[in-house]
Amino acid sequence: MKNSFKFFISSICLIVLLFGCSDSEEETLNENTPAIAIPLEIYKKVYGVTSDITISGGFVYINTNGVPDHKSPYFQGTKWHDTLYEEYDAVNPNVFHTGTFNLNPNRVSELSISFKIPNSPAYSSVNSPTAMGPIGVSLNGVPFYNQYAGMNEPLTREVNSFDNYNGHPAPLSPGAENGSGGRYHYHMEPFWLTTNASKDALLGFLLDGFPVYGPEEGGKTVTSSALDAYHGHTLATKEFPSGIYHYHTTGDAPYINGSGYYGSPGTVSQ
Ligand SMILES: [Zn+2]
Ligand SMILES: [Zn+2]
């Protein structure tokens, strides 16, 4: 009798352990969820680095040169031309284009980009807007940019200069000579990463420390309407099974980030 009671109690515990949290997860995770210190192993998925990734004083430090590890027409005439230049593939056009491919005058250049990102990202009621320039780092070291081509100027025209992997270089500095080196970046889904990993894979981190995932989740396409104003939500992911706030790239605007950072951004220097 006593043993069967023990068995009954332990079975109940097991059932609670196995199924107890699955239903309530989505509702109970919100801005009050305690911050998670992201383990170094997860940051090490960022492979396009120029030095070891380190965590110190509450920040993770990630240094990259911003040069993509995939081919691009924007390597034309650069020191990587022989190995990384490829003509734009008009047979398999970039799905985001609204017209024909328009090679911009900038070419990929090697940079020295240093990201200092909070290791325990947390919600901030300030919700700082993203600036022009890098707003985060993707796994191959190429920076993410926001949804604008200039101050509040949409990507309407710029989009046709994105290569087959959805990136393009900007001038090195305002007023730089046409044809001079530039800062390569992604405003939208980095196709190289989602093709090599998967459409629901971890793609990088924004400056506030929250991870960015691809345009699918649970076998379904994520659209902006399913996300909050900052372009994310809190759910379990492969890397964070207990749930974490995360952004998604989507096929519709604003693509990576919405109206600012969900948390407090770190800094980037280049
Ligand atoms: Zn751009
Ligand atoms: Zn998600």
Lowest mean pLDDT among 114-128, 178-192, 198-212, 216-230: 178-192
pLDDT in tens, 182-192: 899 999 999 99
Whole-number Å distance, alpha carbon 61 to ligand 2 midpoint, is 25
CA angle 221, 227, 230 (to 5 degrees): 130
User: Helices in the chain by DSSP H: which ranges?
Assistant: 2-19, 25-28, 40-43, 81-84, 191-196
Distances in whole angstroms, Cα of residue 161 to Cα of each of 81, 143, 155, 187, 238: 19, 17, 10, 12, 33
Ligand that lies nearest to the alpha carbon of residue 231, given by its number in the listed order:
2
DSSP secondary-structure letter at 173?
S
Of the candidates 265, 208, 198, 269, which has an alpha carbon nearest to the alpha carbon of residue 238?
A: 198
User: Where does the pLDDT of residue 157 fall: very low under 50, low under 70, confident under 90, or very high at 90 and above?
Assistant: confident
Q: Which of 114-118, 129-133, 175-179 has the lowest mean pLDDT?
A: 175-179
Tell me how far the alpha carbon of residue 26 lies from the centroid of ligand 1, in angstroms.
34
Closest CA to 207 of 158, 164, 143, 259: 143
8 A C-beta contact, residue 130 and residue 267: no
Mean pLDDT of the chain: 89
Within 8 A by CB and 6+ apart from 148, the residues are 132, 154, 155
CA of 147 to the centre of ligand 2 (A): 19
pTM, 2 dp: 0.86
